[in-house]
Amino acid sequence: MRTTDHVAAAGLRVVVLGGTGYLGRHIGEAFLADGAQVHLVSRNPADPRLVRMDLLTAGPAELTAFFGSLGPDVVVNAAGRAWRADEAEMTAGNADLVLRVTESLVGLPRPPRLIQLGTVHEYGAGTQGAGTPEEQEPAPVTPYGRTKLLGTQAVLRAAADHGLDGVVLRLGNVIGAGVPAGSLFGMVAAHLGAAARAESLGEKPDELRLPPLRAHRDVVDLHDAVDAVRAAATAPAADVSGQVVNIGRGEAVPMDALIHRMVELSGVDLPVVETVPDQPTRTDAQWQQLDVSRAQRLLGWQPRRTLDASLRDLLAAAVPAPVNGRK
């Protein structure tokens, strides 16, 4: 990220939708540290200082009145559904909500910049050995990818038809502290935590049983993803408005090696067994690799943190002593 971005963000009025979620809360903390005025929006905020709003039921008029009352410079949409939701629920959170947000923002006297958080899963299958550029026609193969693509399309239409200053950051698979429990990494971290507790009691931990890990994924560190949002908030409108920008490592990481490295870093003596699951074959794309050259060109952004640093952050809460003590 450009070194001046944190200075440019000072004094900005920033609204983060999904402000208590995995990405939203870290984005909010980063903007606060930059000196921005931050409003975190959540359906069930634990902190009474946060803004309570059910985004799934809020109509365009309510959203327009809300945004109009705050007069934000930047709106970050970190809301949505990914885990433990069916396609209808994902459509409501990932597509319908985005459409209502864009409709409300274009009606404001001074529309803010909208930063929509998209996903690599919008692309579908990548070409083995090559990075996927933003120009590639999306062909998502999962409900999550399909519904997130609808959200992206809503932002791009609003930019083209109504001049909305909107940009979509198409994120790789984000890993770091607090990763959702429904994800592969969250599930493995929880299992490692339970195994560490069993070891401390002198008990033998249960083996970690996973489906065959044959996929290659583009993963991006949580802090790097947050830095990309900060850079997008202050980039010139002429550069980013109406654009999709890939945010990832720019490489395809084998998931089996990454999970085994995660176990190694945990310090837990845990056997990993890959089994053939008694369920339908997953339809996820087997190769995901993003071309991130546009992010470097338009945002001055590039991934900086190592995979080990990301995994250590992820494991720290679940297995604190081994993770903090390993080199």
Residues carrying an active site annotation? 144
> Degrees (nearest 5) of the Cα angle 140, 141, 144?
75
Number of alpha carbons in the 13 Å side-chain half-sphere of residue 149: 18
> Degrees (nearest 5) of the Cα angle 84, 256, 194?
60
The residue assigned the tokens 């910049």 is: 113
User: SS3 for 197-258, per residue?
Assistant: HHHHCCCCCCCEEECCCCCEECEEEHHHHHHHHHHHHHCCHHHHCCEEEEECCCCCEEHHHH
Give the whole-angstrom CA distance, residue 141 versus residue 226.
26
Burial of residue 245 (CB within 10 Å: 0-12, 13-18, 19+) is buried
Burial of residue 327 (CB within 10 Å: 0-12, 13-18, 19+) is exposed
Least Cα distance to 119 among 103, 141, 99 occurs for 141
In this structure, what token pair is assigned to residue 175? Answer: 């890993």
Least Cα distance to 73 among 34, 26, 110, 116 occurs for 110
In this structure, what token pair is assigned to residue 213? Answer: 């890990």
Helix pair 184-200, 255-266: axis angle to 10 deg? 30
Burial of residue 242 (CB within 10 Å: 0-12, 13-18, 19+) is middle
